[in-house]
Structure 1
Amino acid sequence: MYTRKIEEDLDCGLILGMKVLGGKWKCCILDAIHKGFTRPSEITRSIREASPRVIEMQLAELLFFGVIEKNLESEQEYPKRTEYHLTPLGQTLLPILSQIDAWGLQHADIIKERLTEV
């Protein structure tokens, strides 16, 4: 198992928050689940820029941290119908996601301008 050479400061809220939300598409995945896209294929379709493999990896990390839960609708049905839902811990992230969304929309002109310069 990999051991870090420099210990992480797990008493820092920003580091802990980034452990959970850091990584591509996690905020978008949580937003999609909140909006009712609960099946993996629905989540992938709602985030066109992300590959299904990346979505799958990010869902696994969100499951690990207990932000979402995975439900198998029918054990006897094939293919099994998998759905994801926010846990109570995941629900506490919604106001943060709303604030990030509002900030992005408020500063959209500046950000879009910078992105077109690249």
Structure 2
Amino acid sequence: MTTTALILFAHGARHPEWAETLNRLCRAVRARLSDARVEPAYLEFMAPSLEDCAAGLIAEGFRRIVVIPMFLAQGGHLKEDLPKILAALREAHPQVGFELTGPIGEAEAVVQAMAAHVVTLAD
């Protein structure tokens, strides 16, 4: 078993169907990384929270958790809320390495994929 887990961290919404895109993304990543553990987590309105998701993974033996923000860009939640949550997780679980990536929307490949899609809408 790998000791690394990926958490796709999103804002969350009041409507349950909102999470379907993130669930589709988790399934797509799992299909490409068949031995990887990939789980969704949410800041608010939906479960699991980042704290609950991480706790479950830690209880299963994961010792490296990579948090990937499913946000278009840096904003208040990523600059203020997420660092506080990660600091608390690191303090509560010093045996676990928590890593934070940049927001998915700032990745050049994602920007280019969105641009390519927008171009198709102009035709």
Between structures 1 and 2, the one with greater helix share: 1
User: More strand by proportion, 1 or 2?
Assistant: 2
TM normalised by structure 2 equals: 0.30
Work out which of the two has the higher radius of gyration on C-alpha atoms and give 1 or 2: 1
TM score, norm. by length of structure 1: 0.30
Higher relative contact order (Cα pairs below 8 Å, separated by 6+ residues): 2
